[in-house]
Structure 1
Amino acid sequence: MSTPPRVYTPGNRVEVMGYEPGFIGSYYEATILTVLDDGRYEVIYKNLVEDEETKIPLKEYLRPQDLRPRPPPVREAIEFKLTQHVDVFINEGWWIGAVAAKDMDRSVYLVYFESTGKAAEYDSSLVRVHQELINGLWYRSDP
Protein backbone atom coordinates (compact mmCIF):
# COMPACT_ATOMS: atom_id res chain seq x y z
CA MET A 1 0.00 0.00 0.00
CA SER A 2 1.52 3.32 -1.03
CA THR A 3 1.44 6.46 1.06
CA PRO A 4 -0.84 9.18 -0.36
CA PRO A 5 1.00 12.32 -1.47
CA ARG A 6 1.53 14.93 1.24
CA VAL A 7 -0.15 18.29 1.11
CA TYR A 8 2.24 21.22 1.21
CA THR A 9 1.60 24.93 1.61
CA PRO A 10 3.64 27.94 0.47
CA GLY A 11 6.72 28.36 2.62
CA ASN A 12 7.10 24.65 3.41
CA ARG A 13 10.71 23.48 3.11
CA VAL A 14 10.98 20.28 1.08
CA GLU A 15 13.43 18.08 -0.76
CA VAL A 16 12.96 17.32 -4.44
CA MET A 17 13.81 13.74 -5.40
CA GLY A 18 16.00 13.25 -8.45
CA TYR A 19 14.26 10.83 -10.79
CA GLU A 20 15.95 11.41 -14.14
CA PRO A 21 18.87 9.22 -15.25
CA GLY A 22 22.05 10.45 -13.62
CA PHE A 23 20.13 12.01 -10.72
CA ILE A 24 18.46 8.97 -9.16
CA GLY A 25 19.38 8.76 -5.49
CA SER A 26 19.66 12.52 -5.01
CA TYR A 27 17.61 15.09 -3.11
CA TYR A 28 17.64 18.88 -3.57
CA GLU A 29 16.51 21.41 -0.97
CA ALA A 30 13.66 23.69 -2.05
CA THR A 31 10.78 25.77 -0.72
CA ILE A 32 7.15 25.64 -1.87
CA LEU A 33 6.17 28.92 -3.57
CA THR A 34 2.65 28.20 -4.80
CA VAL A 35 0.11 25.40 -5.04
CA LEU A 36 -1.37 25.08 -8.53
CA ASP A 37 -4.99 24.15 -9.29
CA ASP A 38 -3.83 20.91 -10.97
CA GLY A 39 -2.20 19.71 -7.72
CA ARG A 40 1.39 20.51 -8.72
CA TYR A 41 3.68 22.76 -6.73
CA GLU A 42 5.95 25.59 -7.78
CA VAL A 43 9.23 25.33 -5.89
CA ILE A 44 12.35 27.44 -5.67
CA TYR A 45 15.61 25.62 -5.08
CA LYS A 46 18.00 26.59 -2.30
CA ASN A 47 21.20 25.61 -4.13
CA LEU A 48 20.30 25.13 -7.82
CA VAL A 49 20.40 28.14 -10.12
CA GLU A 50 18.99 28.90 -13.58
CA ASP A 51 22.30 30.29 -14.77
CA GLU A 52 25.75 30.21 -13.14
CA GLU A 53 26.42 33.81 -14.18
CA THR A 54 23.26 35.41 -12.79
CA LYS A 55 22.89 33.03 -9.81
CA ILE A 56 19.09 33.32 -10.09
CA PRO A 57 17.58 30.43 -8.07
CA LEU A 58 15.95 27.76 -10.22
CA LYS A 59 12.16 27.44 -10.05
CA GLU A 60 10.26 24.37 -11.17
CA TYR A 61 6.73 22.90 -11.23
CA LEU A 62 6.55 19.46 -9.64
CA ARG A 63 4.10 16.71 -8.74
CA PRO A 64 3.53 15.83 -5.06
CA GLN A 65 5.24 12.44 -5.49
CA ASP A 66 8.47 14.23 -6.49
CA LEU A 67 8.66 15.92 -3.08
CA ARG A 68 9.23 15.00 0.53
CA PRO A 69 9.56 17.10 3.68
CA ARG A 70 13.12 17.83 4.72
CA PRO A 71 14.31 15.17 7.15
CA PRO A 72 14.48 16.17 10.80
CA PRO A 73 17.93 17.19 12.00
CA VAL A 74 19.92 14.63 13.92
CA ARG A 75 21.05 16.34 17.10
CA GLU A 76 23.61 13.91 18.46
CA ALA A 77 27.06 13.41 16.95
CA ILE A 78 27.20 10.29 14.82
CA GLU A 79 30.15 8.18 13.79
CA PHE A 80 28.88 6.18 10.85
CA LYS A 81 29.52 2.48 10.63
CA LEU A 82 30.79 0.55 7.61
CA THR A 83 28.00 -0.20 5.09
CA GLN A 84 25.65 2.31 6.75
CA HIS A 85 23.59 4.34 4.29
CA VAL A 86 24.35 8.06 4.41
CA ASP A 87 23.63 11.18 2.38
CA VAL A 88 26.56 13.23 1.08
CA PHE A 89 26.20 16.87 0.05
CA ILE A 90 27.76 17.10 -3.42
CA ASN A 91 26.75 18.75 -6.70
CA GLU A 92 24.29 21.05 -4.89
CA GLY A 93 22.24 18.18 -3.45
CA TRP A 94 22.18 15.19 -1.10
CA TRP A 95 23.21 11.86 -2.67
CA ILE A 96 22.56 8.44 -1.13
CA GLY A 97 25.60 6.24 -0.62
CA ALA A 98 27.09 3.73 1.80
CA VAL A 99 30.13 4.07 4.02
CA ALA A 100 32.92 1.94 2.53
CA ALA A 101 35.74 3.08 4.84
CA LYS A 102 36.48 5.75 7.40
CA ASP A 103 39.47 7.65 8.66
CA MET A 104 38.41 9.39 11.86
CA ASP A 105 41.91 10.86 12.35
CA ARG A 106 41.15 13.03 9.30
CA SER A 107 37.33 13.10 9.83
CA VAL A 108 36.83 11.55 6.39
CA TYR A 109 34.50 8.88 5.03
CA LEU A 110 34.92 6.89 1.84
CA VAL A 111 31.38 6.66 0.43
CA TYR A 112 30.30 4.25 -2.30
CA PHE A 113 27.44 5.28 -4.60
CA GLU A 114 25.50 2.35 -6.02
CA SER A 115 23.90 4.60 -8.65
CA THR A 116 27.30 5.29 -10.26
CA GLY A 117 29.41 2.40 -9.03
CA LYS A 118 32.01 4.89 -7.78
CA ALA A 119 33.41 5.81 -4.38
CA ALA A 120 35.09 8.97 -3.11
CA GLU A 121 36.30 10.50 0.15
CA TYR A 122 34.24 13.21 1.86
CA ASP A 123 34.79 15.32 4.94
CA SER A 124 32.45 14.29 7.74
CA SER A 125 30.83 17.77 7.63
CA LEU A 126 29.33 16.83 4.23
CA VAL A 127 27.81 13.55 5.46
CA ARG A 128 24.45 13.11 7.21
CA VAL A 129 22.51 10.08 8.35
CA HIS A 130 20.20 8.79 5.61
CA GLN A 131 16.53 8.88 6.58
CA GLU A 132 13.50 7.47 4.76
CA LEU A 133 9.94 8.71 5.15
CA ILE A 134 7.64 5.68 5.42
CA ASN A 135 3.93 6.11 6.13
CA GLY A 136 4.52 9.56 7.57
CA LEU A 137 7.36 8.53 9.93
CA TRP A 138 11.10 9.11 9.52
CA TYR A 139 13.40 6.09 9.87
CA ARG A 140 17.17 6.35 10.15
CA SER A 141 19.44 4.03 8.24
CA ASP A 142 21.15 1.34 10.27
CA PRO A 143 24.49 -0.25 9.53
Structure 2
Amino acid sequence: MAFHSQSSFQRGDKVEICSKVEGFLGSYFEAIIVANMGTNYVVQYKNLMEEFDESVPLKETVMAGEVRPLPPDITEASVFHLGDKIDAYDLDGWWVGTISSEKNSSGRYSVFFETTGQELAYPILKLRVHQEWRNGKWVSSKKTKRNAVRC
Protein backbone atom coordinates (compact mmCIF):
# COMPACT_ATOMS: atom_id res chain seq x y z
CA MET A 1 0.00 0.00 0.00
CA ALA A 2 1.32 3.43 -0.87
CA PHE A 3 1.59 5.95 1.93
CA HIS A 4 -0.43 9.08 1.44
CA SER A 5 -0.25 12.57 2.77
CA GLN A 6 -3.23 13.54 4.88
CA SER A 7 -5.26 14.91 1.98
CA SER A 8 -4.58 12.41 -0.81
CA PHE A 9 -6.56 9.29 0.07
CA GLN A 10 -8.65 7.94 -2.77
CA ARG A 11 -11.78 5.82 -3.06
CA GLY A 12 -10.99 2.23 -2.03
CA ASP A 13 -7.98 3.07 0.18
CA LYS A 14 -7.91 1.15 3.48
CA VAL A 15 -7.41 3.53 6.39
CA GLU A 16 -7.85 3.98 10.12
CA ILE A 17 -10.03 6.67 11.62
CA CYS A 18 -8.93 8.34 14.87
CA SER A 19 -12.08 8.88 16.89
CA LYS A 20 -12.66 12.34 18.35
CA VAL A 21 -15.95 11.29 19.98
CA GLU A 22 -16.10 11.45 23.78
CA GLY A 23 -15.75 7.96 25.22
CA PHE A 24 -13.81 6.84 22.12
CA LEU A 25 -10.78 9.15 22.35
CA GLY A 26 -7.57 7.23 21.83
CA SER A 27 -9.17 4.69 19.50
CA TYR A 28 -8.66 3.84 15.83
CA PHE A 29 -11.19 2.05 13.63
CA GLU A 30 -10.45 0.40 10.27
CA ALA A 31 -12.38 1.78 7.31
CA ILE A 32 -12.29 2.20 3.55
CA ILE A 33 -12.51 5.51 1.71
CA VAL A 34 -15.85 5.82 -0.07
CA ALA A 35 -15.36 9.40 -1.31
CA ASN A 36 -12.70 12.13 -1.16
CA MET A 37 -14.42 15.46 -0.49
CA GLY A 38 -11.29 17.62 -0.23
CA THR A 39 -11.04 18.45 3.47
CA ASN A 40 -13.34 15.59 4.46
CA TYR A 41 -13.80 11.93 3.54
CA VAL A 42 -16.78 9.63 3.47
CA VAL A 43 -15.67 6.33 5.00
CA GLN A 44 -17.25 2.93 5.51
CA TYR A 45 -16.09 1.11 8.63
CA LYS A 46 -14.94 -2.50 8.51
CA ASN A 47 -16.35 -3.52 11.92
CA LEU A 48 -18.74 -0.74 13.01
CA MET A 49 -22.36 -1.19 11.96
CA GLU A 50 -25.34 1.11 11.49
CA GLU A 51 -27.28 1.62 14.72
CA PHE A 52 -30.66 0.79 13.14
CA ASP A 53 -29.48 -2.12 10.95
CA GLU A 54 -26.52 -4.00 12.38
CA SER A 55 -26.02 -5.89 9.10
CA VAL A 56 -25.03 -2.66 7.31
CA PRO A 57 -21.51 -1.21 7.78
CA LEU A 58 -21.53 2.30 9.23
CA LYS A 59 -20.70 5.13 6.81
CA GLU A 60 -19.86 8.63 7.97
CA THR A 61 -18.08 11.81 6.96
CA VAL A 62 -14.84 12.48 8.83
CA MET A 63 -12.31 15.31 8.75
CA ALA A 64 -9.09 14.65 6.83
CA GLY A 65 -7.05 15.03 10.04
CA GLU A 66 -8.79 11.97 11.52
CA VAL A 67 -7.69 9.69 8.66
CA ARG A 68 -4.41 7.79 8.38
CA PRO A 69 -3.24 4.79 6.34
CA LEU A 70 -3.22 1.37 7.98
CA PRO A 71 -0.03 1.08 10.04
CA PRO A 72 2.59 -1.43 8.91
CA ASP A 73 3.04 -4.59 10.95
CA ILE A 74 6.01 -4.49 13.30
CA THR A 75 7.63 -7.91 13.51
CA GLU A 76 8.89 -7.34 17.07
CA ALA A 77 5.27 -7.23 18.27
CA SER A 78 5.94 -10.27 20.46
CA VAL A 79 8.35 -8.21 22.58
CA PHE A 80 6.98 -5.64 25.04
CA HIS A 81 8.47 -3.54 27.83
CA LEU A 82 6.77 -2.29 30.94
CA GLY A 83 5.66 1.23 30.01
CA ASP A 84 5.52 0.62 26.24
CA LYS A 85 2.84 2.58 24.42
CA ILE A 86 0.71 0.02 22.57
CA ASP A 87 -2.65 -0.40 20.87
CA ALA A 88 -5.06 -3.03 22.22
CA TYR A 89 -7.85 -4.43 20.03
CA ASP A 90 -11.20 -4.21 21.81
CA LEU A 91 -14.76 -3.14 20.97
CA ASP A 92 -14.06 -3.33 17.19
CA GLY A 93 -11.13 -0.92 17.27
CA TRP A 94 -7.56 -0.27 18.42
CA TRP A 95 -7.23 1.67 21.69
CA VAL A 96 -4.03 3.45 22.76
CA GLY A 97 -2.70 2.29 26.12
CA THR A 98 0.44 1.53 28.09
CA ILE A 99 1.76 -1.86 29.22
CA SER A 100 1.26 -1.65 33.01
CA SER A 101 2.42 -5.15 33.98
CA GLU A 102 4.30 -7.95 32.35
CA LYS A 103 2.68 -11.08 31.02
CA ASN A 104 0.85 -12.97 33.78
CA SER A 105 0.46 -16.74 34.27
CA SER A 106 -2.49 -16.81 31.85
CA GLY A 107 -0.36 -15.19 29.12
CA ARG A 108 -2.00 -11.77 29.28
CA TYR A 109 -0.51 -8.30 29.59
CA SER A 110 -2.14 -5.61 31.71
CA VAL A 111 -2.78 -2.41 29.77
CA PHE A 112 -3.64 0.98 31.29
CA PHE A 113 -5.82 3.35 29.26
CA GLU A 114 -5.29 6.97 30.25
CA THR A 115 -8.44 8.18 28.46
CA THR A 116 -10.72 5.93 30.56
CA GLY A 117 -8.58 5.28 33.66
CA GLN A 118 -9.10 1.53 33.16
CA GLU A 119 -6.60 -1.29 33.38
CA LEU A 120 -7.51 -4.42 31.40
CA ALA A 121 -5.69 -7.66 30.49
CA TYR A 122 -5.12 -8.76 26.87
CA PRO A 123 -3.46 -11.70 25.11
CA ILE A 124 -0.51 -10.87 22.85
CA LEU A 125 -2.64 -11.42 19.72
CA LYS A 126 -4.78 -8.40 20.68
CA LEU A 127 -1.78 -6.05 21.05
CA ARG A 128 0.35 -4.10 18.60
CA VAL A 129 3.11 -1.51 18.88
CA HIS A 130 1.61 1.99 18.84
CA GLN A 131 2.61 4.05 15.81
CA GLU A 132 1.92 7.69 14.94
CA TRP A 133 1.41 9.00 11.40
CA ARG A 134 3.50 12.20 11.25
CA ASN A 135 4.36 14.25 8.18
CA GLY A 136 3.61 11.34 5.85
CA LYS A 137 5.75 8.83 7.78
CA TRP A 138 5.14 6.21 10.46
CA VAL A 139 6.87 6.85 13.79
CA SER A 140 7.00 3.86 16.12
CA SER A 141 6.72 4.21 19.89
CA LYS A 142 8.91 1.10 20.21
CA LYS A 143 11.72 1.51 22.73
CA THR A 144 15.08 -0.23 22.66
CA LYS A 145 15.10 -3.98 23.25
CA ARG A 146 16.78 -3.97 26.67
CA ASN A 147 14.64 -5.45 29.43
CA ALA A 148 12.33 -6.89 26.83
CA VAL A 149 9.38 -9.02 27.81
CA ARG A 150 9.27 -11.93 25.34
CA CYS A 151 6.35 -14.22 24.57
Judge same fold: TM > 0.5, yes or no.
yes
Match of 2:84 in 1: 84
**Aligned pairs (5 A) from 1:33-52:** 33-36=34-37, 39-51=39-51
- Number of matched pairs: 139
Identical aligned residues as a percent: 37
Q: For the structure 1 residues 98 and 54, does the alpha-carbon distance in structure 2 shift closer, same or farther, using more than 3 Å as the test?
A: closer
Contact 1:7–1:64 at 8 Å: present in 2 too? no
With over 3 angstroms needed to count, the CA separation of the structure-2 counterparts of 1:84 and 1:52, relative to structure 1, is farther
In the alignment, which residue of structure 2 is the partner of 1:140? Answer: 140
CA distance in 2, matches of 1:52, 1:75: 39
3-state DSSP of counterpart to 1:15: strand
Please report how far the alpha carbon of residue 15 of structure 1 lies from its aligned counterpart in structure 2 after TM superposition.
0.5
1:75-109 Cα deviation digits (max 9, x unpaired)? 34521100000000001100000000122653311
In the alignment, which residue of structure 2 is the partner of 1:25? Answer: 26
Task: After the TM superposition, list the runs of 4 or more consecutive aligned residues in structure 1 that deviate by more than 3 angstroms.
Answer: 51-54
Q: State the match for 1:63 in structure 2.
A: 63
Q: Indicate if the aligned counterparts of 2:17 and 2:28 stay in contact, CA closer than 8 A.
A: yes
| Equivalent-residue separation in structure 1 for 2:104 and 2:140 (angstroms) | 22
The two structures have a TM-score, normalised by structure 2, of 0.84
SS in 2 for 1:116: coil
Matched with 1:111 is 111
TM score, norm. by length of structure 1:
0.88
Q: Return the offset for 1:51.
A: 3.5
Query: What is residue 126 of structure 1 aligned with on the other side?
Result: 126
1:44 and 1:114, CA in 2 relative to 1: closer, same or farther beyond 3 A?
A: same
Gaps of 5+ in 2: 144-151
Q: Deviation of residue 124 (structure 1)?
A: 0.9
CA distance in 2, matches of 1:59, 1:6: 19
Cα distance in 1 for residues equivalent to 2:55 and 2:138: 33
